[in-house]
Chain A
Amino acid sequence: MPGALMKLLRKNQKLSTKKLNFVYTGIISVLGFYALFFLFPLLYAGFLSVTSGIPGESLSFIGLENYRYAFYEDSLFWVALKNTLYFTALTLFPTTVLALLIAAGLNRAMKSRSILLPCYFAPQLTALVAVAVIFRYFYDPTVGLFNFILSKLRLPQFYYLEDAREAMPSIVLMCIWREVGWAVVIFLAGLQSIPEQYYEAAQLDGANRWQLLRRITLPLLSPIILFYVILEMVWCFQIFDPMYVVTPQGGPLHSTYTIVFHIYRNGFFYWRMPYACALTYVLFLICLTATIIVLRIGRTSWEY
């Protein structure tokens, strides 16, 4: 009897109404919610980006005019783009390299790892806002800590956030300080997942240190490095918080004026919302293209 019952139940698995009810209620409520607060705005932004005026009052369809304006007439747009790329390049590479080195070091130092690793990761816990505030003090040309240390070492002092050429690198330094920890954690996990046997086998075959690195460590670590680079790059493209906190007017000569800052200004300061929407779609396109490019490069150079 029980056997037959089981068979019957199993046959009707997919058609059980109890299940269907649950599934559909669950899906519809959760995804419906998501659609309302994510998909709808997404599409609405697309719609707004081809209009002009004030949403809800006077909206007129103008086709791709916003996009044309951004690329051909809005000089600040190009400034923002250049600054954002500059920031990304300046932050991404040192962070990756530093994190790799630190992770390699921590991989060896087994005893002190439990103390050192949390130290490196701690900056990730701070809100970016708090980091910006603290570093703003460090960077003050007169009373800040950095210039004080430099003066003690008889080294030249800087204007940091008040100088057009130093402002962005100052913010970059702050972000590197903050971001290294996350990369270290991920790379360390990756390094530890490489089985010891690979190294042993290679060493038995007479491989030296350099070959071990090139043939085993880097190829096995490359998916993780790729994953990290893509995520960090997209994060860098959207950087906003430090700039807003530290240089609310866009920095000396607009040197810290980034894309999201440009979007924010246009949308919520000048209230040109349709134009801001067009800008966000451009940002999205940039992120997508960059990701695809990096993925392509990553895939081809590390086949093993």
Chain B
Amino acid sequence: MQTKKNEFIGRDHWINQIVKVFLYLLLVIGAVTSVFPFLWVIFSAFKTSKEIFQVPPTFFPHQPTLRNFYQLLEFLPYGRQMLNSFIFTTSIMVGVLFTSSLAGYIFGKFDFPGKNILFLLILVTLMIPFSVIAVPLYLLISFIGWIDTYQGLIVPSLVSAFGIFFMRQYIHGIPGDYMEAARIDGFSEFSIYVKIILPLIKPALAALAILTFLFHWGRLLWPLLVIDSEVMKTLSLGIAGLTQARAARYDLQMVASCGLILPVLMFFLVTQRQFIKSVQLSGLKG
């Protein structure tokens, strides 16, 4: 009796094969669905305005044109906004890497009074939604006179509680022998940090860099509050403005979105494994 049952559910039974293929097909369909909108946007960027609005819609452009790019530049200082996004995101990334690794190193490898309380405090702030500090932060930045400037956008985000936490966990697991040896050799503490610790934590730095970049590249709320002028807007803000003012100009919106998506997409294609590993390592939300 038992063997008969197993034979039916056994690996080679043809029903199992069909089910397997079917499930696999579902997985592939899911993957295609995930990627499809990207392909659509990229192709649409090259379609003529008429083609974008026509019914039935086309997938591949029938008359590929670059006119959308030119038209976009008439509406937005697009190049400048892309530059803004790059400056904004990379500056924050570098800043966060530096502050997080420094603080993480100190919390992870040193003992001093109040260390545990301070660290706990930092952890607690992770729970607080950004909106809570959005208003007062705006008032503070306004008070300093940094509205509509790069500094106003960048400086408040330079220290990340998550970054400190992440780095501290990683550095804590590193054996302290290298540091001790360097100390005996007479190195200054800061040079120990630069020459020994930093090279040792490269994987964690890479992961944090990727996540920080991703998070700030598409950020909307904070730039929305701080930036007023078209010229200083970040890319995501510029695109949002496009949907508000020109409600149905899908052609422009498609092209604009490409600029937002493509740099990250290409970077992703090149560094896939590291990317996904970083996300798994940290669990940080995009």
Which of A's residues lie within 8 Å of B, judged by CB? 6, 9, 14, 18-24, 26-27, 30-31, 33-34, 37-42, 44-45, 48, 55-56, 102, 105-106, 109, 112, 114-138, 140, 142-143, 145, 148, 152, 177, 180-182, 185-186, 189, 227-228, 231-232, 234-235, 237-238, 240-241, 244-246, 248, 260, 263-264, 267-268, 273, 276-277, 280-281, 283-284, 287-288, 291
Nearest-CB residue, chain B, relative to A228: B283
Question: A284's contact among B128, B190, B285, B286, by CB below 8 Å, is which?
Answer: B128
Q: Tell whether, in the assembled complex, residue B243 and residue A119 are in contact, meaning their CB atoms are under 8 Å apart.
A: no
**8 A Cβ contacts from B218-262 to A:** 218-221, 224-225, 235-236, 239-240, 242-244, 248, 250, 253-254, 256-257, 260-261
In the docked arrangement, what's the CA distance between A38 and B161, Å?
Answer: 10
Nearest-CB residue, chain B, relative to A19: B189
Q: Which of A41, A148, A238 has the most chain B CB atoms closer than 10 A to its own CB?
A: A41
Are A280 and B189 CB-contacts (below 8 A) given A125-B265, A126-B218? no
Q: B264 — which chain A residues lie within 8 A by C-beta?
A: 125-126
Q: Which of A14, A123, A134 has the most chain B CB atoms closer than 10 A to its own CB?
A: A134
Are A41 and B99 CB-contacts (below 8 A) given A129-B220, A238-B131, A241-B221? no
Interface assignment of B83: CB less than 8 Å from any CB of chain A:
no
In the docked arrangement, what's the CA distance between A180 and B286, Å?
Answer: 12
Which of B's residues lie within 8 Å of A, judged by CB? 23-24, 26-28, 30-35, 37-38, 40-41, 44, 52-57, 99, 102-103, 105-106, 110-112, 118, 122, 125, 127-140, 143, 155-156, 158-159, 161, 164, 183-184, 188-190, 193, 214, 217-221, 224-225, 235-236, 239-240, 242-244, 248, 250, 253-254, 256-257, 260-261, 264-265, 268-269, 272, 275-276, 279-280, 283, 285-286
Q: Tell whether, in the assembled complex, residue A40 and residue B140 are in contact, meaning their CB atoms are under 8 Å apart.
A: yes
In the docked arrangement, what's the CA distance between A145 and B250, Å?
Answer: 12
Nearest-CB residue, chain B, relative to A6: B184
Question: A137's contact among B103, B139, B184, B254, by CB below 8 Å, is which?
Answer: B254
5 closest pairs, A vs B, by CB?
A127-B218, A22-B189, A41-B136, A119-B31, A41-B133
Can you list 22 A-B pairs, Cβ within 8 angstroms, ordered by A? A14-B111, A30-B159, A31-B122, A33-B159, A37-B159, A42-B132, A45-B136, A119-B34, A128-B220, A129-B218, A134-B41, A136-B250, A231-B283, A235-B285, A241-B240, A244-B240, A245-B220, A263-B135, A264-B221, A268-B138, A268-B225, A280-B129
In the docked arrangement, what's the CA distance between A128 and B132, Å?
Answer: 21
Taking the closest CB of chain A, its distance from the CB of B140, in whole angstroms, is 6
In the docked arrangement, what's the CA distance between A276 and B217, Å?
Answer: 26
Q: Tell whether, in the assembled complex, residue A126 and residue B260 are in contact, meaning their CB atoms are under 8 Å apart.
A: yes
Q: A228 — which chain B residues lie within 8 A by C-beta?
A: 283
Nearest-CB residue, chain A, relative to B139: A55
Interface of B is mostly: helix
Taking the closest CB of chain A, its distance from the CB of B55, in whole angstroms, is 6
Q: B105 — which chain A residues lie within 8 A by C-beta?
A: 26
Q: A260 — which chain B residues lie within 8 A by C-beta?
A: 131, 221
Question: B27's contact among A31, A116, A142, A287, by CB below 8 Å, is which?
Answer: A116
Taking the closest CB of chain B, its distance from the CB of A150, in whole angstroms, is 12
Taking the closest CB of chain B, its distance from the CB of A221, in whole angstroms, is 14
Q: B214 — which chain A residues lie within 8 A by C-beta?
A: 124-125
